[in-house]
A = this chain, B = another copy of it.
Amino acid sequence: MTEPLAVRELAAALDAADPLAAKRAEFDLDPAVAYFDGNSLGAPPKHVAGRLAAVVREQWGGRLIRSWAEGWWDAPVRVGERIAPLVGAAPGQVVVSDSTSVDLFKTLVAAVRANPGRDEILLDAATFPTDGYVAAQVARLTGHTLRRVPLDELSAAAGERTAVVLANHVDYVSGRLHDMAEGTAAAHRAGALMVWDLCHSVGAVPVRLDGCEVDFAVGCTYKFLNGGPGSPAFVYLARRWQETFDQPLAGWAGHADPFAMEAGYRGAAGVGRARSGTPDMLSLLALDAALDVWDDVDFAVVREKGLALGDFFFRCLDEILPGADVPTPRDHARGHQISVRDPGGEPVMAALHERGVLGDFRPPDVLRFGLAPLYTTYAEVLRAVTTLREVRESLH
C-alpha cells in the first residue's frame, strides 16, 4: 500500500531530528530488516564479536588460569556496577550472575527468610511465566502460600500474612509500566518486602530502585541491554539487606573467601553474596563489551525517544490501521514496546517476518513490536504498520 504522505514526511522529519541517530551505526543490523524484537533479544553492538574473540585469544588463551586473578573473578560485581546507574542504584548493590529464573529463586527465598512469621507470597498474576513457576517452587519449599493477584489489586492485597510481593515492572505482553514507587510503598505498608522483575524495563524506562526503597530486584541483560542471547541476569540487593542476605544457592562464588576452600559457608560481604557458582565469563564479558554503547548516552534522551517511537507507532496505526486493538497504554505508562492484538495470531507475525519486519508473537493473539531507541528508526515504525496492513489484507 501507499503510505499516507503526512506520516511518511513525519517519519523522515523525526529521523532527521533524532539525537540518537548516529547510534544505529554502532549496531550490526541487516539493512534489509526492520528489527522490532530488541525487547526480546537486543541487536549486537558491532564491536562485541571482535572483543569476544580477543577475550578468548588473549585472556583465556594468552593468560590461561591467571586471568581469574586478573579481572575475571571480580567481573560479576564490576559489570554489575555498570548496570547500577541504569536501575537507579548507588554502587555496590548490583551483581551479574546466572539467569533471571535462578536469580528470582535466590531473592525470593532470601526475602521470605528475611521476613519470618508470615506465610504468603503475592504475585502479579500477569507475570512472565517463569516468575510464577519459580515462586511456586519457593512457596512449596518454604511452606508459604502463593497467591496470584491482578496487577491493579496487588497493592490492596498485601496484608499481614504477606512476606513478599513479586511484580513485573513492565508487563511483557501489554508493555504496561507499573508504578514502582506506589507498589513498593504499598508492600512496605503491609510489612512485606518487595521484589521487582525488571526484565522488560531495564534499559527502556527510568528505574529508581534506591529512590523507591525497593528491597530486591532481578533483571535480564539480553533485551534492551543487548548483552547477547541468554546473557547473564543481574540481582539488586539493597544495601540494608546485604549483611543478612541468606540465599539458597549459596555456592562457592558467593563465599567470603572462596579460594580458602572452607568446608562451611560464610557469605561474602556486599552484593557478591548473591553469586552462586563459577561465573560464565565469555557471556559476561560479551555483556561487558555490549554495555559500552551506553557510555556516551543520556538515558533521558533514550527514554524520550522510546516514548516518541511509541507515540509515532500509535499515529501510524490511527492513520493506516484505525481501530487496531492495542493493549499497550496510549499514555506514557508503558515500556518500549507496542502490542497489537490480531485474531490471525502467529501466522500474521510469520508473514511479517517474511517481509522483513521482525517482531514476535505471544499467545493468545498478541503481536509485539519492541522499540529500541538506540537503533530503531521512525521510518521502520512506519514500515511495520504499513506491512502489518498489507499482511492483514493478504491473509484475511
Contacts and interface: CB of A to CB of B under 8 A. Distances in A.
B64 A37 contact: yes
Contact of A133 (B64, B259, B265): B265
A41 B65 contact: yes
A102 B133 CA distance: 17
B56 A48 contact: yes
A142 to B, nearest CB: 7
A46 B67 CA distance: 18
Contacts of A148: 263
Contact of A353 (B56, B66, B263): B66
A141 interface: yes
Contacts of A68: 41, 229
Given A98-B99, A250-B133, A358-B66, A60 B228 contact: yes
B56 A40 contact: no
Copies of this chain? 2
A317 B301 CA distance: 66
A277 interface: yes
A312 interface: no
Interface stretch (A25-33, A78-86, A329-337): A25-33
A105 B148 CA distance: 26
A63 to B, nearest CB: 9
A321 to B, nearest CB: 23
Interface residues of A, number: 85
Given A99-B280, A101-B277, A228 B56 contact: yes
Interface stretch (A5-13, A230-238, A377-385): A230-238
Given A61-B43, A282-B282, A283-B280, A252 B56 contact: no
Counting chain B CB atoms within 10 Å of each CB, the highest count among A35, A252, A358, A362 belongs to A252
Contact of A249 (B101, B142, B232, B281): B101
A346 to B, nearest CB: 10
Contact of A282 (B132, B228, B252): B228
B105 A98 contact: no
Counting chain B CB atoms within 10 Å of each CB, the highest count among A101, A229, A362 belongs to A229
12 contacts: A29-B61, A41-B60, A49-B61, A60-B228, A99-B276, A99-B277, A101-B276, A105-B249, A125-B263, A128-B261, A129-B252, A130-B252
Interface of A: 28-30, 33, 35, 37, 40-41, 43-44, 48-50, 52-54, 56-57, 59-62, 64-68, 72, 98-102, 105, 109, 125, 128-130, 132-134, 136-137, 141-142, 148, 220, 222, 228-233, 248-253, 255, 258-265, 276-284, 286, 353, 358, 360, 362-363
Given A102-B249, A129-B258, A133-B251, 7 more contacts: A28-B57, A30-B64, A48-B56, A49-B57, A52-B52, A228-B282, A260-B363
